[in-house]
Structure formats: structure tokens, C-alpha cells
Chains A and B, each alone.
Chain A
Amino acid sequence: MRTFSSFLGRAVVTESGRHFGKCRDLRASLGRGRPSVEAVVVGRRGWLEHLGISRPSGPRKDSIPWEAVVRLDGDRIVVRDGTEPE
């Protein structure tokens, strides 16, 4: 049994060691049946954006697709080399 909060805060890295930041959320698709996780959300939401004071310039690239995850390792989420945030 895995819990949602066990994912939070884990460092997201590629097999060769490239860092994408920490997992701060999971993106899932609702539909019929159970929600299925599609992506790991990394990075921090800018505080000013959060307050609504500045707008994000363009689409933020903060999600790593779940298919790219190869293993969960101690306190890290390891993804395939060559993955790019979307």
C-alpha cells in the first residue's frame, strides 16, 4: 500500500543523475473508475504567481510522465534518461 504523501518531497532524478526538483504533487486523470496517475509534478509554484500577482509566462514545464518512472528508490523517484518535463 502506497500513500500519496509518501511520494511528496521525493527528489525526481534520471538514472544518470539529472535532477528535476522535488515531487510536489501527482497529476491524475479522472474519468470512469479510479483516478490514474499520469504525471509527477515537480518544482515549486512561484509564490508571487500563487498570490495572483504575476502571471506565469507561458505554459510551465513541471510534469514528468508516469511512464517515464523506472523505480522508486529509497527517497527518490528515478526516471529514464532522456525524459523531459512537459
Chain B
Amino acid sequence: MSETIDLGLLLVDHQLLDSEDRRCGNVDELVLEGGPGERLEVVAILSGPGAWRGRAGRTGRIAAWLSGGERVRVPWEEVDTIAAHVKLRKRAETLGLGRGDDRLRRYMEKIPGANR
């Protein structure tokens, strides 16, 4: 009972959701292990502008540089389901995702009306 998917079509560039359905980045790149003559497997997802360096040549590198070049590696075992979005098994903080939002939130909460 296994399903076949085209990785570029149904996995790469899709939204990541954590276990609480919080948006925490996109699938920016996949890490594979293996090679000709043996199994080739997806072992991890990379998320973050830093993962753009390998894509789209110079445009990717410039975009990565402009955005800070951070990236997070999410081992495949953390993936729960793949549907319209890629759902993960744990919360974003545990996996190191969504840190930008968390950092900014600490400042934003101090402004009146931000927590309506």
C-alpha cells in the first residue's frame, strides 16, 4: 500500500504546518541519501532562505543572502502527513521552525492592542 508522488510537484515548495496547524515555513529543499546502484531516499527537509542557495543559480543566492541565510533541517521522521500541506509531528519550536515569528512576537506583544 504505497503511493507514488512526484517530489517536485507535491512536496517541494509546499507549506509546512506543525502539529498545531501553525504555519512554519515551506519545504525549500530535500536532502537525499544514496546513489546509483542503491536506494536513493529522502532523509530530511530543509526550510529557510538558506536552502535557496542551491536553487535558481544566482537569483537563489542573492535571495538567500538578502533574507539572512538561515535554514533548518527537519528529519523525515518528523513528517506526519502530506496533503495540501506537509504536516509535522511536533510543534514548531521543538523543531526549530518559526523562530522569526517567535522572536518578533516578544516585542510586538508589548504594543497595546496587539493581543486582542
Interface, chain A (partner B; CB < 8 A): 1-6, 8, 24-31, 34-38, 41, 66, 69-72
Contact = CB atoms under 8 A, between A and B. Distances in A.
B29 A28 contact: no
A70 B38 CA distance: 10
Contacts of A31: 1-3
B114 interface: no
A5 B40 contact: no
Interface of B: 1-9, 12, 29-37, 39-43, 46, 54-55, 76, 82
A3 B29 contact: yes
Contacts of B39: 36-37
A37 B31 CA distance: 12
Given A3-B29, A36-B39, A72-B35, A25 B7 contact: yes
Contact of A25 (B8, B35, B43): B8
A35 B37 contact: no
Given A1-B31, A5-B29, A72-B36, A36 B41 contact: yes
B51 to A, nearest CB: 8
Contacts of A69: 36-37
The 7 closest A-B pairs by CB, nearest first: A31-B2, A4-B30, A37-B40, A25-B8, A34-B41, A35-B42, A69-B36
A25 B29 CA distance: 13
Given A3-B54, A72-B36, A8 B8 contact: yes
